[in-house]
Structure 1
């Protein structure tokens, strides 16, 4: 190939790559760099825009902020409860729908409906379900579990768990679909061999199914961790952006929004919290990826 032809191919490749590269630079790299720059400044974006360099003071303030600590605790509790439950439920449903039961295509379609609905609409539906006159209270009173209705959404001891129920119900179908794809890739000969050896249903599930879909489980858990750490819309709608009652629905994403858009002069502080959230998600993701890779490959044993 001549030098002129090589140069022509490089130009053609650059023409195809430049639009994607421009989008990545403008909408990914620049916001990250700018957010880090804001985190090192006291920023006023209202009226006369000003930047006052404060170094790492915003990060120090975040570590000493009791509301940030509460938001971190709420987010951590949410992650620790929601991710395992939604992963296990998605796997169980996928296994059932992959077992050849009658009307399995109909069940798949029905179970996938929540994924097609917007998060805001689902939140409003669940707010009605958990309201004082909603179906949950009616059922509990009919069963004589309680004599008086419970104000789930205004009680700090129950509101976060109601939000967890919303999230689990809305995210399980998507992860179930991912598991279904993984289950259908397992070689049926492995199950036939297990049948010959006299393995029962549970033995086949634990010895064949779960190990074979370990990479799918890693992906599902990773996506669950990232999405739950970024929880924002449901607490915002339920608490009308306040994080109440008594900060019981305050998450890291919600407190970032409050400092960024509800208080003047704290955009830099909000950016610092956002950077810390990014670091937390990155560290947890890398740790999980490291241990999950060891489990699959057997390294480090």
Structure 2
């Protein structure tokens, strides 16, 4: 009995630094933010005034909230499915009997190794009014396209950048899942007369469902929390015409531009609720826990 207590004490001792870090840097801030939602807080003076649910009323009445809501959901609905499908297809290609050179594989991983800030600057250079893409389109079609100043196109640039930079990472995740699929399933499908496409559709895709759920979940969380690309590209304004304003950027503006930490924490709570609800719905639709036993 004494030995068991000693082992338990030893285990908790090793865990204590991590537990304290989680307590002070995660749990305490979350609890404190929960109470701040009901106050009008000026971060400069530190003054707090209890206003109940008024922060939520102000948020839902603000046109910038609905702009950030529309932009973020557009971003999620485009980026998550495309990056998931491309990553799965590339993983299946790499897992096939085709031999790829090491140089090609290394080039594929460069976007993942590049920081998002550097990637944003590269895409700003490519898509600015005198950038490579604008010049190529003008040479080919005789039309000048202004990607970064056109409210209809600038969010598309951020979408393309995110897909380009996240696909290699998710491809590796899918590749690890493909390695665990029993070869006997493909042999059985071959005996039933299935071609390569049918094997992929009826064997690979169902067997990868738990991995797909993980990839979609991580993609959803990352896309809903997009901040740095929109901040750098718009200079923190969310422009032009709020076309790059996302939830996280709007939270930043409320907290550090408007000095209203109460509304910022209320919006953060709304964002957290949306992420939880969407993830729950995706889990129910994919039924990932019912696949592979």
Q: TM-score range with shorter-chain normalisation? A: over 0.9
Deviation at 1:6, TM superposition (A): 4.3
Q: Partners of 2:279 and 2:36 in 1: how far apart?
A: 25
Q: State the match for 2:65 in structure 1.
A: 68
Q: Are residues 1:261 and 2:259 paired?
A: no
Gaps of 5+ in 1: none
Q: Are residues 1:291 and 2:289 paired?
A: no
Cα deviations by residue, 1:79-110 (Å, 9 ceiling, x for unpaired): 00110000011111111111121225443322
Gaps of 5+ in 2: none
Deviation at 1:295, TM superposition (A): 8.4
Q: State the match for 1:90 in structure 2.
A: 87
Alpha carbons of structure 1 residues 124 and 196: separation in structure 2 relative to 1, 3 Å: same
Q: Partners of 2:41 and 2:181 in 1: how far apart?
A: 55
Deviation at 1:294, TM superposition (A): 6.9
RMSD value, Cα: 1.7
Q: Partners of 1:200 and 1:57 in 2: how far apart?
A: 60
Structure 1 counterpart of 2:52, from 47, 52, 55:
55
Deviation at 1:131, TM superposition (A): 1.5
3-state SS in 1 of match to 2:193: coil
Q: State the match for 1:140 in structure 2.
A: 137
Structure 2 counterpart of 1:40, from 38, 41, 64:
38
Q: Are residues 1:275 and 2:269 paired?
A: yes
Q: State the match for 2:120 in structure 1.
A: 123
Tell me if the contact between 1:257 and 1:270 (Cα under 8 Å) persists in the aligned partners.
yes
Cα deviations by residue, 1:151-191 (Å, 9 ceiling, x for unpaired): 10011010000110000000111001111111111112222
Q: Are residues 1:214 and 2:189 paired?
A: no
Tell me if the contact between 1:97 and 1:108 (Cα under 8 Å) persists in the aligned partners.
no
| Equivalent residue pairs, number | 292
3-state SS in 1 of match to 2:41: strand
Q: Partners of 1:297 and 1:149 in 2: how far apart?
A: 50
With structure 1 as the length reference, what TM-score do the two structures score? Answer: 0.92
Tell me if the contact between 2:213 and 2:288 (Cα under 8 Å) persists in the aligned partners.
no
Q: Partners of 1:271 and 1:203 in 2: how far apart?
A: 49
Q: Are residues 1:183 and 2:181 paired?
A: no
Q: Partners of 1:79 and 1:231 in 2: how far apart?
A: 10
Q: State the match for 2:77 in structure 1.
A: 80
